[in-house]
Chains A and B, each alone.
Chain A
Amino acid sequence: GNSVTQMEGPVTLSEEAFLTINCTYTATGYPSLFWYVQYPGEGLQLLLKATKADDKGSNKGFEATYRKETTSFHLEKGSVQVSDSAVYFCALTRYGGATNKLIFGTGTLLAVQP
Chain B
Amino acid sequence: DAGVTQSPTHLIKTRGQQVTLRCSPKSGHDTVSWYQQALGQGPQFIFQYYEEEERQRGNFPDRFSGHQFPNYSSELNVNALLLGDSALYLCASSLGRDSGNTIYFGEGSWLTVV
Interface residues of chain A, those whose CB is within 8 Å of chain B, are 31-32, 34, 36, 42-46, 49, 51, 89, 91, 93-107
Contacts and interface: CB of A to CB of B under 8 A. Distances in A.
Interface residues of B, number: 31
Contacts, number: 77
Interface of B: 31, 33, 35, 40-45, 48, 50, 55-56, 58, 88, 90, 92, 94, 96-108
Contact of A99 (B41, B97, B108): B97
Nearest to A105: B42
A100 B106 contact: no
Given A44-B105, A46-B104, A51-B100, A101 B48 contact: yes
B43 A99 contact: no
Given A43-B107, A44-B105, A100-B31, A95 B99 contact: yes
Contact of B99 (A100, A104, A107): A100
Given A31-B99, A106-B42, A107-B40, 20 more contacts: A32-B100, A34-B103, A42-B107, A43-B107, A43-B108, A45-B105, A46-B102, A49-B102, A51-B100, A91-B42, A93-B99, A98-B55, A99-B50, A99-B56, A100-B94, A100-B96, A100-B98, A101-B48, A104-B42, A105-B42
B106 A43 contact: yes
